Amino acid sequence: MHFVLLVGALSFFADFTYEGARSVLGPFLGSVGASATIIGIVAGFGELAGYGLRVVSGTAADATRRFWPIAIVGYIVQMTAVPTLTLVHSWQAAALLIILERIGKAIRNPPRDVMLSYAAQRIGGYGWAFGIHEAFDQMGAMIGPLVVAAVIARGGQYGMAFAMLAIPAAANLCLLAIARFVFPRPQDMGHDHEETNSREGFSSRYWVYLVGAGLVAAGFADYSLIAYHWARTHVLSTNWIPVFYAIAMATSGTASLALGRLFDRFGFRLLIFLTIATMFFAPLVFLGHDPRWALAGAVLWGMGMGVHESIIPAAVAPMVATAKRASAFGTFTAAYGACWFIGSALIGWIYDRSVGEAVLFCVASQAAAIPLFIWVGR
């Protein structure tokens, strides 16, 4: 539990940094000349890089068992990319840094998730461990956007807000050094005998689950596009957009604690219910012209993010052998990111032509995953 809490604190400052920036990336990109299509492509390609490269990171972690060195490189790349946004004045340069930040996350996540899964075997369940971690994660994701909103509300520019995020980025790197020193070998916490033969390939339920998760990702609009829509249609003023993002992150973090415990108890029945509930975020955020509907959509979107970041990866861990777990996380999230990229690009392209059709695509893609989750659950 000490390890889970320490890594949770590490993620608190990481999310403080990059989610603070992401809360205004849509309007920021728009202010430097990007269209909705460009925003969708940049956000989607960032997720593609952020998830796709996890195959490389996960495979390297399994092959070398050097979980900390790989994770440390990823954190350094990610934490330096965000404050550097204060120096750019074109959407092309901003896009490069946005993608670089996602690459840093791609490098560090598979080894970090594997280390968490070892600790999960000692504290009562994968859902509980990932849920606790996600709560810290989203607490940072709530506070970061609020700080950015406060800077902008007091007359600050986007560049000043990005510069302020250098403080939590530095705190993250300091905690990273402490975690590496206190827990040099997290894999020693695991129980290898609980897993299946490491020579076996991934099971059929793993691949079917991956397809279902990919459909959910494809239909889950990035907040950058949502923020762009709210700013363009004047549903929200610019300084309220990061506040709504903070509310979404607070919802995600609060729900993840309870949902993690419930997932350990009810399994895929909970995931099916949550998929049905959260897919209605799209009509609320894109079709409503009242801030109250936008708020309801932000809450559902945040709950969906909690599912993406805690329950969906937690379900992968017991499906594979310990020795192949980093590869499993990497492969799973790579495909997941590819679907997110394709979906984000499509949603942005459809949005430029018809908002209603973009909403229909979001709902239909996520609904298509439900039969697959039912099969995996059975």
Calculate the alpha carbon distances from 375 to 136, 279, 330, 357, 362 in Å: 32, 19, 23, 29, 22
CB 175, CB 10: distance < 8 Å? yes
Q: Looking at residues 298-302, what average pLDDT do you find?
A: 90
Calculate the alpha carbon distances from 132 to 25, 92, 118, 137, 261 in Å: 27, 37, 14, 9, 9
Sign for the CA dihedral angle at 88, 90, 92, 95 comes to positive
Tell whether the model's pLDDT for residue 233 goes beyond 70: yes
Top pLDDT among 239 and 171 is at 171
Q: Looking at residues 101-113, what average pLDDT do you find?
A: 89
From CA 363, how far away is CA 307, in angstroms rounded? 16
Rg (CA), the chain: 19
How many other β-carbons are positioned within 10 Å of the β-carbon of residue 22? 27
Write down the pLDDT at residue 107. 92
CB 74, CB 108: distance < 8 Å? yes
Write down the pLDDT at residue 250. 80
Tell whether the model's pLDDT for residue 194 goes beyond 70: no
> For 38-48, b where at least 16 C-beta lie within 10 A, e where not — what string?
bbbbbbbbbbb
Q: What pLDDT band is residue 193 in, cutting at 50, 70 and 90?
A: very low
Calculate the alpha carbon distances from 281 to 3, 248, 349 in Å: 34, 11, 19
CATH code of 2-183+202-377, in short, is: 1.20.1250.20
Tell whether the model's pLDDT for residue 312 goes beyond 80: no
Q: Looking at residues 339-363, what average pLDDT do you find?
A: 89
* 3-class SS of residue 165: coil
Alpha helix positions (H), 154-240? 158-164, 166-182, 204-218, 223-233
| Matching residue, tokens 């949550």 | 274
Report pLDDT digits (tens) over 243-266: 888 888 788 777 777 777 787 777
Query: Cα–chain-centroid distance for residue 377?
Result: 23
Tell whether the model's pLDDT for residue 36 goes beyond 70: yes
Calculate the alpha carbon distances from 175 to 9, 71, 88, 105, 156 in Å: 8, 13, 28, 16, 29
The mean pLDDT of the chain is 84
Q: Which of 47-51, 140-144, 348-352 has the highest average model confidence (pLDDT)? A: 348-352
Contacts for 302 with CB less than 8 Å, ≥ 6 apart: 138, 247, 248, 249, 250, 251, 252, 255
Q: Looking at residues 15-44, what average pLDDT do you find?
A: 85
Three-state SS string over 103-159 comes to: HHHHHHHHHHHHHHHHHHHHHCCHHHHHHHHHHHHHHHHHHHHHHHHHHHHCCCCHH
Amino acid (one-letter) located at 166 = A
Write down the pLDDT at residue 201. 66
Write down the pLDDT at residue 244. 87
Write down the pLDDT at residue 97. 93
Q: What pLDDT band is residue 70 in, cutting at 50, 70 and 90?
A: very high
Write down the pLDDT at residue 191. 57
Top pLDDT among 325 and 282 is at 282
Q: What pLDDT band is residue 131 in, cutting at 50, 70 and 90?
A: confident
How many other β-carbons are positioned within 10 Å of the β-carbon of residue 367? 15
Write down the pLDDT at residue 124. 67
- Among 29-43, 184-198, 266-280, name the one with the lowest average pLDDT: 184-198
Q: How is residue 262 written in tokens?
A: 């419930």
Three-state SS string over 52-105 comes to: HCHHHHHHHHHHHCCHHHHHHHHHHHHHHHHHHHHHCCCHHHHHHHHHHHHHHH
Distance in Å from the first CA to the final CA of the chain: 31
Q: What pLDDT band is residue 196 in, cutting at 50, 70 and 90?
A: very low
Contacts for 199 with CB less than 8 Å, ≥ 6 apart: none
Write down the pLDDT at residue 190. 60
Write down the pLDDT at residue 100. 93
Report pLDDT digits (tens) over 8-17: 899 999 999 9
Q: Looking at residues 141-148, what average pLDDT do you find?
A: 86
Top pLDDT among 145 and 188 is at 145
Q: What percent of the chain has pLDDT over 70?
A: 96
Write down the pLDDT at residue 52. 76
Q: Where are the domains of the chain?
A: 2-183+202-377
Q: How is residue 248 written in tokens?
A: 């979404």
CB 111, CB 146: distance < 8 Å? no
Calculate the alpha carbon distances from 64 to 29, 69, 186, 190 in Å: 39, 10, 14, 17
Going by the DSSP 8-state scheme, the letter that residue 317 receives in this structure is G
Q: What pLDDT band is residue 195 in, cutting at 50, 70 and 90?
A: very low
In terms of phi and psi (left: phi > 0; alpha: psi -120 to 50; beta: otherwise), the region of 55 is alpha
Phi, psi at 168, each rounded to 5°? -65, -30
